[in-house]
Amino acid sequence: MSELIPPFHWHTFLFSPWNDPLIATSNFWIVLMGFMVATACGLVGNYLIVRRMALVGDAISHSVLPGIAIAFLVSQTRGSTAMFIGALIAGIVTTIIIEVIHKKTRVKQDAAIGIAFTSLFAIGVILISLFAAQIDLDQECVLYGEIGYIGPEALAGEHTRIFGIPLGPITVARMILVTIATCVLIALFYKELLVSSFDPGLASSLGINATMVHYGLMSWLSVVVVSSFESVGAILVIGMLILPGATAALLTARFPRILLLTVLNAALSSLGGVHLATWLNCSPAGAMVVMASLLFSAAWIFSPHDGLIRRWYYMRGAGTSEPSEATVELTSK
Amino acid sequence: MFFMLSKRTFIYLLTALGYFLFFAGNVEAARIGDISEMSIGEQTARFFSFQDPAVRYAVIGSILLGITCGLLGSFIVVRKMALVGDTLSHAVLPGVALGFMWNMTKNPIAIFIGATIAGLIGTAVVNLIKQTTRLKEDTALGMVLAGFFAVGICMITMIQQLPTGNVSGIDKFLFGQAAAIGKDDLILMATVTVLTLLIVGIFYKEFLVSSFDAGFARVAGFPVQVLHYTLMLLLAFAVVISLQAVGVVLVSAMLITPAAAAYLLTDRMHKMIWLAAGFGMLAGLVGAFFSFLGPSLPTGPFMVLGASAVFATAFFFGPKHGVTTRWWQQRSRAKRMNRENTLKSIYHVLEDRAFKGESVSLEELKIRRAESFEEAHQRARELAAHDLATFDAKKSQIYLTPDGWQRACEIVRNHRLWELYLTNAVQFAADHVHEDAEKIEHVLGDEVVREIEKRLNYATKDPHGRDIPGLRDVEKGKRMDGAPAETIGYGRRT
Amino acid sequence: MISTARQPTSALGQAGATEAPPLEIHDLTVSYHKKPVLWGIDLVVPAGKLVGIVGPNGAGKSTLIKAVMGLLPLNSGWVKIYGKSFQKNLKRVGYVPQRESVDWDFPVNVMDVVLMGRYGHLGLIKRPSKRDREIARECLDKVKMLPYSDRQISNLSGGQQQRVFLARALAQESDVYFMDEPFSGVDAATESAIITLLHELRAKGKTILVVHHDLPTARNYFDMLLLLNMRVVAFGPTEEVFTYELLQKTYGGRLTILSEVAEAVRQKV
For residue B336, give the CATH number of its domain. Answer: 1.10.10.10
For residue B251, give the CATH number of its domain. Answer: 1.10.3470.10
Residue A114 has pLDDT above 60, yes or no: yes
Residue A150 has pLDDT above 60, yes or no: yes
> For the residues C222-229, what does the mean pLDDT come to?
90
CB-based contact (8 Å) between C35 and chain A?
no
Give the pLDDT confidence of C116-151 residue by residue, as tens digits. 988 888 877 788 889 999 999 999 998 889 999 888
Min Cα distance A178 → chain B (Å) is: 23
Same domain, B53 and B177: yes
A332 within domain boundaries: no
Please give the pLDDT value at position B255: 93
Smallest CA-to-CA distance from A28 within A123, A209, A150, A142 is with A150
d(Cα A182, Cα A199) in Å, to the nearest integer? 22
ipTM: 0.85
Residue C257 has pLDDT above 70, yes or no: no
Strand (E) or helix (H) holding C206: none
Domain total for chain A?
A: 1
The boundaries of the domain holding residue A182 are 21-241
CB-based contact (8 Å) between B304 and chain A?
yes
Please give the pLDDT value at position B2: 41
Please give the pLDDT value at position B264: 92
Among the residue ranges A283-287, B267-271, C22-26, the one predicted with the least confidence is A283-287
CATH architecture of C2-11+20-268: 3-Layer(aba) Sandwich (3.40)
Please give the pLDDT value at position B233: 92
Please give the pLDDT value at position B21: 55
Please give the pLDDT value at position A72: 83
CB-based contact (8 Å) between A106 and chain C?
yes
Same domain, B343 and B308: no
Burial class (CB within 10 angstroms; exposed 0-12, middle 13-18, buried 19+) of C212: buried
Same domain, B277 and B363: no
d(Cα A227, Cα A250) in Å, to the nearest integer? 28
Smallest CA-to-CA distance from C176 within C83, C97, C81, C65 is with C81
**Across B296-300, C7-11, C48-52, which has the greatest mean pLDDT?**
C48-52
Same domain, B365 and B236: no
Residue B198 has pLDDT above 90, yes or no: yes
Question: Which band of pLDDT confidence, cut at 50, 70 and 90, is reported for residue B193?
Answer: very high
Show the CA angle centred on residue B71, arms to residues B65 and B75, nearest 5°.
135
Which of the two residues, A190 and B27, has the higher pLDDT score? A190
Give the pLDDT confidence of B305-317 residue by residue, as tens digits. 999 999 999 999 8
Residue B197 has pLDDT above 90, yes or no: yes
Residue A203 has pLDDT above 70, yes or no: yes
A282 within domain boundaries: no
Contacting residues of C for B212, CB less than 8 Å apart: 102-103, 106, 108, 113, 116
Greatest CA span in chain A, whole angstroms? 81
Q: Where are the domains of chain C?
A: 2-11+20-268
> For the residues C212-232, what does the mean pLDDT come to?
87
- Hey, of A107, A142, A281, which one would you mutate to test binding to chain B, going by the most B CBs within 10 A of its CB? A107
Please give the pLDDT value at position A191: 84
Interchain proximity B209–C119, CB inside 8 Å: yes
A110 within domain boundaries: yes
The boundaries of the domain holding residue B414 are 330-492
Task: Give the DSSP per-residue string, C149-178.
Answer: TTSBGGGS-HHHHHHHHHHHHHHT--SEEE
Residue A76 has pLDDT above 70, yes or no: yes
> For the residues B157-179, what does the mean pLDDT come to?
71
Please give the pLDDT value at position A116: 92
d(Cα C265, Cα C242) in Å, to the nearest integer? 7
CB-based contact (8 Å) between C113 and chain B?
yes
DSSP helix/strand/coil, C137: helix
Domain total for chain B?
A: 2
- DSSP classification of residue B469: P
Whole-number Cα distances in Å, B197 to A302, B193, B233, B470, C262 = 45, 6, 14, 60, 62
> For the residues A56-61, what does the mean pLDDT come to?
86
Same domain, B335 and B311: no
CB-based contact (8 Å) between A1 and chain C?
no
Q: Cα C266 vs. chain centroid, distance in angstroms? A: 28
Please give the pLDDT value at position A232: 73
Same domain, B20 and B107: yes
Interchain proximity B136–A143, CB inside 8 Å: no
Give the pLDDT confidence of C63-103 residue by residue, as tens digits. 999 898 888 888 888 898 888 888 888 888 889 999 888 88
Q: Where are the alpha helices (DSSP H) in chain C?
A: 61-68, 110-122, 130-142, 158-171, 188-203, 215-221, 238-241, 244-251, 255-268
| Long-range residue pairs from B50-54, CB within 8 A, at least 24 positions apart, any chain | B50/B20, B50/B21, B50/B24, B50/B25, B51/B24, B51/B25, B51/B27, B52/B27, B53/B28, B53/B29, B54/B29, B54/B30, B54/B179
Smallest CA-to-CA distance from A298 within A268, A267, A274, A321 is with A268
Among B321, B342, B369, where does a domain finish?
A: B321
Same domain, B151 and B234: yes
Query: With contact defined as beta carbons under 8 Å apart, do B298 and A129 qualify?
Result: yes
Please give the pLDDT value at position C14: 42
Residue C15 has pLDDT above 50, yes or no: no
Give the pLDDT confidence of B48-68 residue by residue, as tens digits. 766 777 788 888 999 999 999
